[in-house]
Structures are given as C-alpha cells and as structure tokens.
Amino acid sequence: MAKKTIIVFSGEYDKLMAAFIIANGAAAMDDEVVLFFTFWGLNALRKPEATPSSVSATKSGLQRMFGRMMARGPERQALSKMNFVGVGQRLMKRVMRDENVMSLTELIDSAREQGVKIIACTMSMDVMGIRKEELIDDIEYAGVAAYLGEADESNVNLFI
Amino acid sequence: MAKKTIIVFSGEYDKLMAAFIIANGAAAMDDEVVLFFTFWGLNALRKPEATPSSVSATKSGLQRMFGRMMARGPERQALSKMNFVGVGQRLMKRVMRDENVMSLTELIDSAREQGVKIIACTMSMDVMGIRKEELIDDIEYAGVAAYLGEADESNVNLFI
Amino acid sequence: MAKKTIIVFSGEYDKLMAAFIIANGAAAMDDEVVLFFTFWGLNALRKPEATPSSVSATKSGLQRMFGRMMARGPERQALSKMNFVGVGQRLMKRVMRDENVMSLTELIDSAREQGVKIIACTMSMDVMGIRKEELIDDIEYAGVAAYLGEADESNVNLFI
C-alpha cells in the first residue's frame, strides 16, 4: 500500500477521465489517493447549477465574468482535442456507453466512495474567483504546502 | 538502476519527442522504461497505412468516424502549439534535421532497440474505438492495474 | 528535506504559475528544487527585449522565423485556455493583483532568491533555434542525462 497524488490542473473531459481512472485503480489496490484540483481543474468541482446571486455578489465584476465563461461540473468540460464545440465530447461519451465504460460522473462517484481525497487549491480559487459555495460538498480546501506534504508521502505524483 | 514510467496521453509531435528523449536517455543509463499509451497517445502507435476494411467492419459507425479523423503514426501528429495546419511541424522537423537531432521515428526505433517497453491501454482503446490490428507489432496490452504495478516499482513517473 | 524536479515544457502563463507556485512552496520547506526548461518552456527564459542582430545572424532563416513568432519572457506567454488573443491573460493578471496573489515575475524572482535551480535543455534549444545569449543570466545548461540524474535523487517529479 502506497499513496498517490494527482494535480488536476487542465480540467478537460478526457484528462479528468484519465485522472479518475488512475484514482479508482489505485484506490481499488488499497492505495491512498489525493486529487489536488487547481486552476481549470476547479471547474470540474463546480456544481452544475448557476451560481446563486448571493455568491456572485461577493465577486468582483471581472471574477463574475470569468466565472460565467467557464463550464460548471465535469460533464460539460470540453475534450483537449477534437472537441468541435462539444460534438466530439458527445461522441466520445456515446462510444463509452456503447463499450460499457464508466461515465466520468460514475468514475467520480466511485472514487469518492472508495475514499479518494479531493482537495481544492485555495490560491487558485482566488485567482479564478471561485467561492466555496460553488463547489460540491464534502471536499477539502488547502494550499501548496498541503499538496507538498501529501506528495512527500507518495510514491507516484502526477500533473494532469 | 531504477525504473521509469511515462503515461503518453496527449500524443502531440513535440510531447512524443519529449517522452522518447527521456525514454532513450533513461534506457541509455540502464534504467528500465515503461511507456503507457492512453487516449490520443494511441494514435502514435497506429500503423500509418489506412485501416483494413476487415478491421473497420468490427467498429461501430461512430468509432469508424473517430478513427478516420485522427492521424495515424507518430510523424503525422500535430505540434501542441504553433502547428499552423502542419506547417509548424514540418518546419520543426527541418530544423531538427539541420541540427542533427534524431527524428521522432529514429527516437522510437532506438527506444525499442534499447528495450523500452510499450504498453497500449486497453480501456482507452475501447473509448477511442482502436483495434489491436491497427497498432504496430510487438507491443503489450494492459489496463490501469498494470500501469500502477509498474509505477509502484519506479522512482520517476511522468504524465505527458 | 527532499529534492523536487519539474520539467517545464508547455510554457503557458498559467502552467508557469503552477510550476513556480510549487517550486516556491517546496523551496520554502527547504527542499532542493530543479526546474528543467524544455521546448516551449524555454520562451519563458528568453529576455523580453528583441534578439540582437549579432545573435540572429548565427541562426538559420527557419530558426530566425521560429524565434520571432514565439513570445519572449514569462509575462507575454498565453494562457492554456480562454486566452482570447491575450485578453484572458490580462484579466487573470488583474484578478491576481486584486487578490494580492504574487505575479509570475515575482514568483520567478522569489524562486531564484530561494535557490531554485533553473536548467535550460540544450537539445531543445537546438530544436527551437534558441541561443544562450537570448536567455536570462545565471541559469544552467544541460541535457536529458542531467535531468535524469536530478530526478533519480528526487521524490517528486512533475511534467508541466
């Protein structure tokens, strides 16, 4: 048994798939897994529904604009390639269903059930203007020092 | 002597260069090296010639379409930046030749001669609709558990 | 205390931020940190001013063209997403200032003051046609063998 960390930076649909396939695989082998969400990766942790206006009110105009332009939740993230305004992403999802591959949402649920730890990077939240109220429940919040502490205890550390 | 693993995810020409330069360097230092090809990285393992119709016949319509839209073989992959519909990639190849840098194909051949292990991720093959018959010979096939087994024995693990 | 290496490959503004936030965090914890700049990452090490013609004269026509098309210095690099011809990057910089997040230039200065080692990959310099005279002072130059030597001594190795 050994620990694994993954920095989830890019947040694209296919890269999220890769991160959660590895996380589930490692958790199934009784590894401890820590996913550290930074920058665009944070969008995958946002609740799909529109940000409540009480939360938007705490943001600057720029942050509100930034927030509105970025897709909320894992299923709306684009592919890193061949996305074609979402068509490629929908095609990939359909092929996955045909081949009985778990969907991204199922992979995330499975990872959480297996105890994979999800940490949102607080410094990136400031940069992206993302508030805790926008993110899914039962996750942790920490900075780079916490990441490094986890990474020091891990034998596999990836940046995706 | 220590083991290294690289997940080859993106499959762009310049990122393939980086992966194989590291793989060759490590192999030259007597390290064991495992390259695990997933998602778009699989395209670099496809034979350059058109997929035989007997193989295409085993695919769904969507998978056939996906397969046709993705470039086959390492030399046709785009740069991750400044590709300009292939012009940037051709310029980079020409500069490499002028500077006597090994081409990507030569780097791949050299890696294989040095015993670098190439594994195609079977789960990604399902997602991308890629068949074994389309991929180059003498490679291995495995899933995420095999990757994690190799990574656990390695002291450097990269995601490219 | 343990060593960390990061391969800085992509060189986009947000990925440079991530690399230098990790580097500063690790250095603050008394870790030794080595940043190995390759391919597009080298552009972040270029001096912002135009390449002197005496240096350009040592390049081939292709290399000169390549060099001119790539932005020089960290502050001019695009975001990996939502860049919108530089508007997104300027917005992110302004939000960072509002939130009192260190700028990329400040992060780089701080990293260097803390003794983070910066190495430019000589093989990529050949491929990109970049000369030592174009890069900032007081950095080191080395190839993949040096990277692997550092990585073998490190407990966290990332590719960004």
Model confidence pLDDT, tens digit, residues C91-120: 999 999 999 999 999 999 999 999 999 999
Neighbours of chain A (3+ CB pairs under 8 A): B, C
Q: Are C160 and C33 in contact (CB under 8 A)?
A: no
Q: Which residues of A touch B127 (CB under 8 A)?
A: 17, 92, 95-96, 99, 101
Which of C18, C24, C99 has the CB atom closest to A39's CB atom? C18
Predicted local distance difference test score (pLDDT) of residue A84: 86
Q: State the count of interchain CB pairs (< 8 A) between A and C.
A: 71
Tokens of B144: 């995420």
Task: Flag if C159 and B157 touch (Cβ within 8 Å).
Answer: no
- Which amino acid belongs to residue B23? A
pLDDT for C39-98, tens place per residue? 999 999 999 999 999 999 999 988 898 888 899 999 999 999 988 888 899 999 999 999
Q: Which residues of C touch B110 (CB under 8 A)?
A: none
Distance of CA A12 to CAs A3, A17, A69, A105, Å? 24, 9, 15, 14
> For residues C132 and C56, what is the distance between their CA atoms, to the nearest angstrom?
12
**Cα radius of gyration rounded to whole Å, chain A:** 16
3-state secondary structure of B51: coil
Q: Which one of C13, C15, C70, C144 makes the best mutation probe of the B interface by having the most chain B beta carbons within 10 Å?
A: C144
> For residues B61 and B45, what is the distance between their CA atoms, to the nearest angstrom?
22
Calculate the average pLDDT of chain B. Answer: 95
Nearest CA in chain C to A151: C156
pLDDT for B112-144, tens place per residue? 999 999 999 999 999 888 999 999 999 999 999
Strand duo A3-8 + B154-159: pairing: unpaired
Task: Flag if C63 and B95 touch (Cβ within 8 Å).
Answer: yes
Predicted local distance difference test score (pLDDT) of residue C145: 98
Q: Are A41 and A10 in contact (CB under 8 A)?
A: yes
Q: State the count of interchain CB pairs (< 8 A) between B and C.
A: 72
3-state secondary structure of B30: coil
pLDDT for B5-40, tens place per residue? 999 999 999 999 999 999 999 999 999 999 999 999
Predicted local distance difference test score (pLDDT) of residue C66: 85
Predicted local distance difference test score (pLDDT) of residue C115: 98
Is the pLDDT reported for residue B1 higher than 80?
no
Domains, chain B, in order of start with CATH, read 3-159 (3.40.1260.10)
Predicted local distance difference test score (pLDDT) of residue C152: 98
Predicted local distance difference test score (pLDDT) of residue C62: 87
Q: In the structure, what pLDDT confidence band is assigned to residue B62 with cuts at 50, 70 and 90?
A: confident
Predicted local distance difference test score (pLDDT) of residue B65: 87
Which of B39, B69, B70 has the CB atom closest to A18's CB atom? B39
Which of C24, C82, C98 has the CB atom closest to A60's CB atom? C98
Is the pLDDT reported for residue C1 higher than 80?
no
Low-confidence residues in chain A, pLDDT < 70: 1
Predicted TM-score (pTM) of the model is 0.97
Looking at per-residue confidence, does C10 or C67 come out higher?
C10
Q: Which residues of A touch B152 (CB under 8 A)?
A: 2, 155-156
Q: Which residues of B touch A79 (CB under 8 A)?
A: none
